[in-house]
A and B are shown apart, each in its own frame.
Chain A
């Protein structure tokens, strides 16, 4: 994350503390610390008052069976929907991202329209449409298909923009050198532009994949048996522990996404050091950093 390096710069906002400031800071730290602890205590007390800390509600999570039979199948479904959608979205993004850069107007304009339209429509609406529109057309649309379809179109469109930005970020001279060597258009794209662009796009792509993974949770609304479904429906159906269960599930999501986030940071650092690409790390249009792409 580009901003993560900012903590060093942010210290410019205040001087190295002298003895009086240090004292004041210590007092303030104490005050704010106490305030935060108070908030935490109030939340804890409310949970206690409603019996949410009752061991009966939490003990199921200490038992292996709860995990292997109820939670992990949900996680598997979440990951498989995310994996299939990611592959399809990458293909979709590559096709339409490159299509948008085509010299032919009849390719460029439709590709642009598709990308802009699907970026403007909320994902949940795409999923609903896949379900109802599909059955209208006589197709059998499972929850999995509907979720993957929506994720592919939406994230594919965002990835198309990332691909386009990535290719445009490769200095012009690279393509020109390719043409000078007598390479054809698709050779220039395949051998020169894409390999360099991919390196530059990698952090943005991984960030978008985090978004995609989070968005699989929308499957819950159409009763896809994903991780959130396991946590908010299947586990509480056994133990009547909705709130504890949702908290545990949230922790799983956070852990996975944090890991992916670190992967993105690591890739970004590596690509910044790497001499293999002449392109600067790509940031999709309108974004100040990968934080924005994460917001979908």
Chain B
């Protein structure tokens, strides 16, 4: 127990990194996933195909592999660099790219399944008053679709929170990697440390679940 108390600043710092990874990747994934969903229901076959390929490739690839590719490939081959003088900043953003690229594929599929819950009449009504495809999507379909999939989006956010641990693969010192390092430093305190970190994740994910459950009831489209 002492180890947990002694190392509390380190643990909190690790979780702060986990939170930052989650929030930033979550926002990017939401935006990018929505664009992908729009592409997948668009009238242009080329966009539909591109988005379909993207989704199928990304979500069938292990996240660990994606993160490793981002960490070792983006910088060395694509010259993606976020900071010249701070490697931790660089690795943070490289893993953020990986996490959001992966999660976006799932966001896309969730939103697309939400689009299917919107009654046909809504789109027909929108078209009959002369809205274009993008207007129909933006003003009529997506607002209803997203509200229908609030709960699954919450599940995705929880999954993303846990998935940020995979950034350990390229040495981002988030919670899981810190935990392992603390295991090394305090070999006799493995169990309290594990319980401490596990509690941290419960604290992070439990409110998200409750919040999204509440939101989904509150925002449900009454039909």
Interface residues of B in 77-113 (CB under 8 A from A): 77-79, 103, 106, 109-110, 112-113
Pick from A9, A10, A128, A294: contact of B176, CB below 8 A: A128
Pick from B76, B120, B190: contact of A50, CB below 8 A: B76
Q: Is the CB of B106 within 8 A of A253?
A: no
Q: Is the CB of A6 within 8 A of B115?
A: yes
Knowing A6-B112, A128-B180, A288-B113, the reply to whether A120 touches B202 (Cβ < 8 A) is yes
Pick from A120, A125, A136, A232: contact of B206, CB below 8 A: A120
Interface residues of B in 150-196 (CB under 8 A from A): 151-152, 154-156, 159, 162-163, 165-166, 168-169, 175-176, 179-180, 183, 187-188, 190-191, 194
Specify which chain B residues have a CB less than 8 angstroms from the CB of A52 in the assembled complex: 77
Pick from A7, A46, A228: contact of B65, CB below 8 A: A228
Specify which chain B residues have a CB less than 8 angstroms from the CB of A17 in the assembled complex: 43
Map CB proximity to B onto A1-32 as digits: 1 under 8 Å, 0 otherwise.
11100110111111101000000010011001
Pick from A10, A43, A123, A243: contact of B76, CB below 8 A: A243
Q: Is the CB of A295 within 8 A of B155?
A: yes
Q: Is the CB of A12 within 8 A of B76?
A: no
Q: A195 an interface residue at 8 Å Cβ cutoff? A: no
A221 vs B172: C-alpha distance when bound (angstroms):
12
Pick from B113, B152, B169, B213: contact of A221, CB below 8 A: B169
Q: B114 an interface residue at 8 Å Cβ cutoff? A: yes
Q: Is the CB of B113 within 8 A of A296?
A: no
Q: Is the CB of A133 within 8 A of B194?
A: yes
Pick from B47, B109, B141, B188: contact of A291, CB below 8 A: B109
A27 vs B151: C-alpha distance when bound (angstroms):
39
A28 vs B50: C-alpha distance when bound (angstroms):
14
Interface residues of A in 197-225 (CB under 8 A from B): 210, 214-218, 220-221
Q: Is the interface of B mostly helix, strand, loop or mixed?
A: helix
A249 vs B41: C-alpha distance when bound (angstroms):
31
Specify which chain B residues have a CB less than 8 angstroms from the CB of A214 in the assembled complex: 60-63
Q: Is the CB of B116 within 8 A of A292?
A: no
A41 vs B159: C-alpha distance when bound (angstroms):
34
Q: Is the CB of A250 within 8 A of B198?
A: no
Specify which chain A residues have a CB less than 8 angstroms from the CB of B76 in the assembled complex: 50, 243
* Chain B, Cβ-Cβ closest to A78: B62
Specify which chain A residues have a CB less than 8 angstroms from the CB of B152 in the assembled complex: 286-289, 292
Give the A-B contact count at a CB cut-off of 8 A.
Answer: 204
Q: A110 an interface residue at 8 Å Cβ cutoff? A: no
Specify which chain B residues have a CB less than 8 angstroms from the CB of A3 in the assembled complex: 109, 112-113, 116
Specify which chain A residues have a CB less than 8 angstroms from the CB of B47 in the assembled complex: 32
- A1, A132, A228: which has the most chain B beta carbons within 10 Å? A132
Q: Is the CB of B64 within 8 A of A228?
A: yes
Q: Is the CB of A136 within 8 A of B187?
A: yes
Q: Is the CB of A28 within 8 A of B115?
A: no
A232 vs B64: C-alpha distance when bound (angstroms):
11
Q: Is the CB of B65 within 8 A of A261?
A: no
Q: Is the CB of B201 within 8 A of A292?
A: no
Q: Is the CB of A253 within 8 A of B133?
A: no
A291 vs B110: C-alpha distance when bound (angstroms):
7
A15 vs B156: C-alpha distance when bound (angstroms):
33
Q: Is the CB of A289 within 8 A of B109?
A: yes
Specify which chain A residues have a CB less than 8 angstroms from the CB of B222 in the assembled complex: none
Q: A254 an interface residue at 8 Å Cβ cutoff? A: yes
Knowing A36-B50, A124-B176, the reply to whether A14 touches B127 (Cβ < 8 A) is yes
Interface residues of B in 28-80 (CB under 8 A from A): 40-41, 43-48, 50, 56-57, 59-65, 68-69, 72-73, 76-79
Q: Is the CB of B60 within 8 A of A253?
A: yes
Q: A239 an interface residue at 8 Å Cβ cutoff? A: no
Q: A9-B120, A43-B78 are in contact. List 13 more A-B contacts (CB 8 A).
A: A14-B43, A14-B127, A14-B136, A28-B44, A121-B202, A122-B176, A221-B64, A231-B65, A258-B60, A286-B155, A289-B110, A291-B113, A294-B59
- Give me 17 A-to-B residue pairs in the complex whose CB atoms sit less than 8 angstroms apart, sorted by A's number: A3-B113, A6-B113, A6-B115, A6-B116, A25-B43, A32-B50, A122-B162, A123-B162, A214-B60, A221-B168, A228-B68, A254-B57, A254-B60, A261-B60, A287-B155, A288-B110, A292-B152
